[in-house]
Amino acid sequence: MKGAREKLRKFWLWKPGKILLAVGCCGLLLLTLIPLFRLTVYAVPYYDDYNFGRFARAAMEQEQSKWAAISGALDCSRTQWYAWQGTYSSI
């Protein structure tokens, strides 16, 4: 009986090491990301989504730099802020 109590006590007082905890957390993260990765098949741009890239593309065609693309994206955000009546955060 005493051996069973000791085993039960060891079981309840056991603490994982740092490496085991880190590996377990990474594994849990990968498991929770699986449904999101499966949903990416359906994440394709549609009709109105191409409008948002128009500003960045026009800026890139003029200057050919990443700063031009950022400037175009900011112009799109500024324009949509004043023009759009929907949820702003989805741009």
* Structural domain span for residue 21: 16-45
Q: Is residue 57 located within the same domain as residue 41?
A: no
Contact present, 55 and 75 (Cβ < 8 Å): yes
Whether residue 9 is contained in a domain is answered as no
Q: Which of 44, 69, 66 is nearest to 56 (CA)?
A: 69
Instruction: Assign 43 a pLDDT band (cuts: 50, 70, 90).
Output: confident
Instruction: Assign 91 a pLDDT band (cuts: 50, 70, 90).
Output: low
Q: Is residue 56 located within the same domain as residue 82?
A: yes
- Look at residue 50 in the predicted model and tell me its pLDDT: 80
User: Residues 46-84: pLDDT tens digits?
Assistant: 877 787 788 888 888 888 888 888 888 888 888 887 877
Q: Is residue 41 located within the same domain as residue 59?
A: no
Q: What angle do CA 24, 42, 91 make, to 5 degrees?
A: 90
Q: Model's pTM, two decimal places?
A: 0.44
